[in-house]
Amino acid sequence: MPGDDKYFGVFPTRLRALLEKKKTTITALANELKISRQSVSQYQDGTGQPNVDKLCKIAKYFNVSADYLVGLSTVPSTNNDTRDIC
């Protein structure tokens, strides 16, 4: 796959996993973020990155921390106590 290094980056990999876990679609996420389906597809394949505002909205949509999405944490929880224990 072209750009494999970007495709397997932390953010695109976690985004794909969250989409699958929530059993939702790129289109549904795009509608929630009020952006194009193509933009979400680019986030998912690593050829594009969301700005901070979109990153926060994605984190809220999936109920995970932004730190988790970008690889600063391995714990998806938004609960600080849970993250500290882990």
Q: For the segment 23-73, what is each residue's pLDDT rounded down to a tens digit?
A: 999 999 999 999 999 999 999 999 999 999 999 999 999 999 999 999 999
Residue 66, Cβ density class (10 Å: 0-12 exposed, 13-18 middle, ≥19 buried): middle
Q: pTM of the prediction?
A: 0.84
Rounded Cα distance between 69 and 50, Å, is 11
Q: Given this model, what pLDDT does residue 75 score?
A: 86
Position 81, amino acid: D
Position 48, amino acid: G
